[in-house]
Amino acid sequence: MLNRRSSMLAVGCLLTACGSVLAQPSADVTYQNLTDVGTYGPETISGSVTYAYIFGTATCNIGNRNLNWGNATQGSPIVFFNMFRYFDGRLQQIGAGWGKTACCAAAGSGCGTCNGAGGSVLGAGCLDVYGAGWNAQQSRLGPRSNVNPWSGQQAVAPSYSGSSPTARRCTVKREDMDPTRYPGAIFFGDGVYVANDEVDPSKRMNNASYRRVNIAASTYAANFTGAPATVQHQPAIMAWRAQDPNVIITTVDAPNDGRFYVASKATDLGNGQWRYDYAVYNLNSHNGAMSFSVPLPTGARTSVVTFSDVAVLGESWSTTDWANSRTSCALTWSTESFAQNQNANAIRFASMYNFWFNSNASPAPNGNVQIGLFRSGGSITASGLIVPGRATCIADVDNGNATGTPDGGVTIDDLLYYLTQFESGAACVSDVDDGSATGTPDGGVTIDDLLYYLDRFGAGC
């Protein structure tokens, strides 16, 4: 039997062991600065004039263990470059490329106290710098499909012997930067690192940084002249909120996997109409996303339902737009599941997709949206976002097809549909009042809801 002293020693040893696990030494790669930018092209691809861009990298290891750094030719970490456009109050991704693999590291200062290790590692506290010209070498650019962004597992880049000025680089269609189409647009670039030895998962959440990019109106050449400094440890979706404080952004992590950023915004269009904008940025989830759902209140009508994605040229992934569908409870966009098509147009890592629509429902804060996971199935919930809150005509709940789709009028079809939903206890349609006769849902279905609906139906809205 353990005596008190030996028990205390055992507990102390256990706590010490647990502490060492919780605070395990780990490398921590960060993209400290987008130093310069190279422009390549133009080249006509599938009928579209296309340019390509690559950024220079100042990379830090702010961890307390050396970071593996390639080999004689290429290896971990890999950095992936993207381009974004901010216009008309919306940020969209317009470019993506393959990842630049590492070969050898310097041991520069500027990231803390450098331990002096370089070559096959980037030492703890050390800085490594490469210009855009070096990072643009196509033989060092590898496909995203070779990489598990959460574990860091990766394969070497295939050899390259072509002469295309844009192949493998971050490609952008000229039409997506055309100043006559997008007058006053602002552009951003970001880079996302993936490393195979960040053993502490928390260290994988700061691997992206972004910076504003100038694009010349006639030549489409890019530069950072006069641009603000790099915003460190944040992906470019955060530039949306930096441009517009009305944008709400939150994060949600997939189980045992990476992180998604979700942004939301509501714009008053006048005449009882609102535009709802959403963006989902997959930072480093290998699972990926296959659907996105926004809740709808009773009586909400929707129009101009739109989707926007980004293609990675050279990958075998589908570029088919996501379909949208609605019920009385939600508006959902979706692509094929992993079981249906492993190359479906999922939101893979270092990518951002947009979703927007108009509605007669006014906005409500602190709402939840659902992200359907691609590889595993199931879903995760992002909270604290702007969602449609209350429609202008609560009595309008169906168009006669018993699908729960409002049609802008109030008829017997609406009453019959509501009564059916009330009888079944379906809260997302039936919950219209909390007993205060103000049309405020309370999460339950009671006689107060029925009485309030009948009152609104009798009033014609």
Residue by residue, pLDDT tens for the chain (461 residues) are 344 334 433 444 433 334 334 557 999 999 999 999 999 999 999 999 999 999 999 999 999 999 999 876 778 899 999 999 999 999 999 999 999 998 889 999 999 999 999 999 999 999 999 999 999 999 999 999 999 999 999 888 888 988 999 999 999 999 999 999 999 999 999 999 999 999 999 999 999 999 999 999 999 999 999 999 999 999 999 999 999 999 999 999 999 999 999 999 999 999 999 999 999 999 999 999 999 999 999 889 999 999 999 999 999 999 999 999 998 889 999 999 999 999 999 999 999 999 999 999 999 999 999 999 999 999 999 999 999 998 888 889 888 888 888 888 899 998 999 898 888 887 778 888 888 988 888 878 899 889 988 988 888 88
Q: How far apart are CA 232 and CA 239, in angstroms?
A: 12
Q: What is the CA radius of gyration of the chain?
A: 26
Q: How far apart are CA 277 and CA 109, in angstroms?
A: 42
For the chain, the 3-state helix, strand and coil shares in percent, each to the nearest 5, are 15, 40, 45
Taken as a whole, the chain contains a residue count of: 461
Quote the pLDDT of residue 14.
39
Quote the pLDDT of residue 9.
38
Give the 3-state DSSP-derived string for 191-231, with helices as H, strands as E and coil as C: EEEECCCCCCHHHHHHCEEEEEEEECCCCCCEECCCCCCCE
Q: How far apart are CA 80 and CA 250, in angstroms?
A: 22
Quote the pLDDT of residue 433.
84
Quote the pLDDT of residue 404.
83
Residue holding tokens 């279905």? 445
CA separation (Å) from 119 to 72, 196, 293, 432? 9, 17, 47, 65
Quote the pLDDT of residue 72.
64
Contact 349, 263 (CB under 8 A): no
Three-state secondary structure call for residue 79:
strand
Q: What is the pTM of this model?
A: 0.91
Q: How far apart are CA 162 and CA 238, in angstroms?
A: 36
Cis peptide leading into residue 42 (ω within 30°): yes
Contact 115, 126 (CB under 8 A): yes
Domains of the chain listed by start with CATH number: 25-243 (no CATH), 246-392 (2.60.40.1170), 393-461 (no CATH)
Three-state secondary structure call for residue 171:
strand
Token pair of 406 as six digits: 């409002």
